Amino acid sequence: MIAGYLARRIEGKVILDLNCGRTPLFPFLPRTFDVYVGNTADPEAARFLKQVYPGGTWVQCLDVRIPDMVRVDVLLCLGWEVGREGRREATVDETVMGLVFQYYPEMVILESEAETPKREEFDALVEWVVEQGYSEVGMWEVRPWQSSSGVVTHRGVVILERGSGRKVKPWRRK
């Protein structure tokens, strides 16, 4: 669904796939983009990506250590999750906010478990992006989806596109 939406919108674009792990969107997109960068904290996953998908740029780092880029046209955060014991990496929101603030990408696509116990936090992040001058193109619930751990979950996808007027709001939450 996401790849289909992006297929005719990525020509010459720089795509950043935040925390892509072993399952980037890269293999499903036409090679019309300029640069595709994905990061993962897992060194094994980074080696895997470099071997299997040599056309992408794969960086082994935490999301807060994303190297400076010339620009980001499409920001993907596919897998905003609640981790074990109901916790998730708190830096994901800060990283998404910082990237939106710094690069003001044309599109921001966020995806999460549709029934996450932290749904309010996910919705707050979407609301913050909208406050930056983005329009919600659509929000979909996709079911079922089988994760790499074999767990079937319902997924929520939000696609946001940059509007004409930028509104600057502080990107750090208090």
Residue 140: the pLDDT is: 82
**Which tokens go with 141?**
């619930």
**Which tokens go with 13?**
């674009």
Q: What rounded mean pLDDT belongs to the chain?
A: 84
The one-character DSSP state at 61 is S
State how far Cα 96 lies from the chain centre: 8
Q: State which H helix or E strand residue 136 sits in.
A: strand 134-146
Q: In the chain, where are the structural domains located?
A: 2-162
Average pLDDT over residues 22-40: 93
In this predicted structure, the answer to whether residue 87 has a pLDDT above a threshold of 50 is: no
List, for residues 114-170, the tens digit of each pLDDT value. Answer: 776 678 888 899 999 999 999 999 888 776 655 556 665 677 899 999 987 666 655
Cβ atoms of 35 and 57 within 8 Å: the answer is yes
More confident: 145 or 15 = 15
Give long-range contacts, CB 8 A cutoff, 24+ apart: 56-60. 56/24, 56/26
Does domain 2-162 bear CATH number 3.40.470.10? no
Q: In sequence order, what are the residues at sequence separation of 6 or more whose Cβ sits closer than 8 angstroms to the Cβ of residue 96?
A: 18, 75, 77, 108, 110, 125, 129
User: Which SS3 state, helix, strand or coil, does residue 62 take?
Assistant: coil
Residue 168: the pLDDT is: 60
Closest by CA to 134, choosing from 103, 110, 99, 159, is 159
| Model pTM score | 0.87
